[in-house]
Structure 1
Amino acid sequence: MAEARQRVDKWLFFARVVKSRSLAAKLAQAGRVRINGEKTDQAADTVRPGDTLTITLERRILVYRVLAPGTRRGPAEEARLLYEDLSPPPTDNRNALPDAVPPVRALGSGRPTKRERRQTDRLRES
């Protein structure tokens, strides 16, 4: 029997990684999917059981081992049977220092407040 293979965009769609197959194709074409560590830029690249997928989404990295090809986009319980989740646990960012320092504006610079505008209007009227 031939080894079961499936297009990566179909597999991502069936495994409920993305909401639509066109989004899965765009994800693969953007180079955000790696199959066994090799970056892919085609939605038609195939995956088979045993392959490891590294998927970069907006704020997280997913690492999945393919267990089976999908046959349809079913409920989430059915989709979880298609892969084994090897993703690293999310880090606790509550105690981490912020990446960006909030901007500090010197007093008197920038747009005037409503109170300052009223004071300026009163000076002009008198």
Structure 2
Amino acid sequence: MKNITSLFISALLMITGAFAFNPTAKTVSKDKKTAVSQRINTLIGNPTHLLNGANQSVMISYDVDANNVMHIKDVSTSNAELKEYITKRLNGKKFKNVQLADMQGVVKVHFVTRKEQKLYLQY
């Protein structure tokens, strides 16, 4: 009786462990979104000359087609020059190292200008 109980408990632990350690699609999707965000950040850079001395936030809506090419659907900003700059920098760019076929999403990018650069010392 003791062997049957211990066998049942060990089988139960193995079954629940299999469910707990199974990777899900959300994890993969999060990695892909992180790759897209990093790529967008690298391609855009920090166009301080277009910010007109103010901090701005931009929402970029995109699609990635079957050939791993990014297509910009919309750039939400009131600054027309910044919108054109972002669209030119991102539209038609191909992802080489990550397979992102048939993916779509939205990325929020914050641009920060620094009028005064101060040195803060911490002791």
TM-score grouping bracket, smaller chain normalisation: under 0.3
More helix, by proportion: 2
Q: What TM-score, normalized to structure 1? A: 0.24
Q: Which has the higher contact order (CA 8 A, sep 6+)?
A: 2
Structure with max Cα Rg: 1
